Amino acid sequence: MVDSMAQSEFSSVVETGSPSPRVDPKVAAALTDLFLEDFELRPEDEVESIEDAKQKDLTVYILGNHDHNVRPWMADKLGLTSGDRFHLVRGVLVLEVKVEGRQYRVRFEHGHDEDIFNSYGGVAEEDLIGGEPFGYITSRTSGKRDGDPLPVLDKMFAGAVAVYNLLGSQALHLLCSRDRSEKFMRIILEHFLGRRMTDDDVVFYRDDQYLNLKKYSRFQLVKRCIDRHGLERAFSMYKAAFHDYADFLRTCGEDVVVLGHTHKWTTGRFAGKGDREVLYANTGAWCTRVKEPTYVRIVPPTSLEDGLVEVVAVTE
């Protein structure tokens, strides 16, 4: 997918949370947003896409929040972990690319751990219900949907962004009151439910256990996050939930950062760690069922040409 990378030398690989595999120069950087939820229940077209990926020179699969419960035996069942052409990465993958005597660092990460509603590692374990974040519960809730999604969530999304742009981190204090917090959580749950919530609505979430949605809406996630991690950190994670990763990118010391998670492609230049410039690209979503499948293409610079980081739409 990124054949031009053959001219570069990938000198090392750094993984957070797992052993470091050796990476072939033709790593398929576009596959950072692939979802591996339940191997036995995957749509047939996506299973075929995995089989196709296994035939490439090398595929590196960055696990995201949808993949948190993936276990090695699941990957083994599809034959994904056999050989050295397919690697599952839980955490962060950083490639160090040496071109014309200069070294560049490219970071690949799903992006969910910076999102207050979907983070597993970015919040305290006590703030997860049954070990799962709020986003997991909303996914379970969508499985109960028996109506059209309520349009109010899109309006709330735009309103939340407008409020935090106006008030900054103090906007989170508006969500710390019990009444506002419960209303905020209820609106999101009802969007995924597709109707108004009742006192009896429950969702399965693990080990034959069920969660009462009405009671769960009273869980003060934002307040708990502020109490444990401080206002600025909580605000950074809150903004990431609305696809604003500027704060996170300021902590990155790499030259290029590629994320997924939002399902919306974008590119841009941001201030990174130490005021260095970071090129940011989001893969969007490349599964065949989305309206506009996209992926990120990266071409390293040479002595004759500048490098390239771009989002490419799949037209076939």
Q: Which domains does the chain have, with CATH numbers?
A: 3-111+245-313 (3.60.21), 127-229 (no CATH)
pLDDT-based confidence at 123, cuts 50/70/90?
A: confident
The b-or-e profile of 53-64 (16+ CB within 10 A means b, else e) is: beeeebbbbbbb
Place of tokens 């947003």: 33
pLDDT-based confidence at 146, cuts 50/70/90?
A: low
Q: In the prediction, which pLDDT does 307 show?
A: 85
For the ranges 44-53, 144-153, 232-241, the lowest mean pLDDT is seen at: 44-53
Say whether pTM exceeds 0.85.
Answer: no
pLDDT-based confidence at 5, cuts 50/70/90?
A: very low
The neighbour count for residue 24, using CB atoms within 10 Å, is 17
Q: Is the pLDDT of residue 113 over 80?
A: yes
> What average pLDDT does the segment 90-100 reach?
86
Distance CA 189, CA 139 (A): 9
Q: Which of 106, 105, 110, 137 is CA-nearest to residue 121?
A: 110
> What average pLDDT does the segment 260-276 reach?
93
pLDDT above 90 coverage of the chain, percent: 31
> What average pLDDT does the segment 112-141 reach?
87
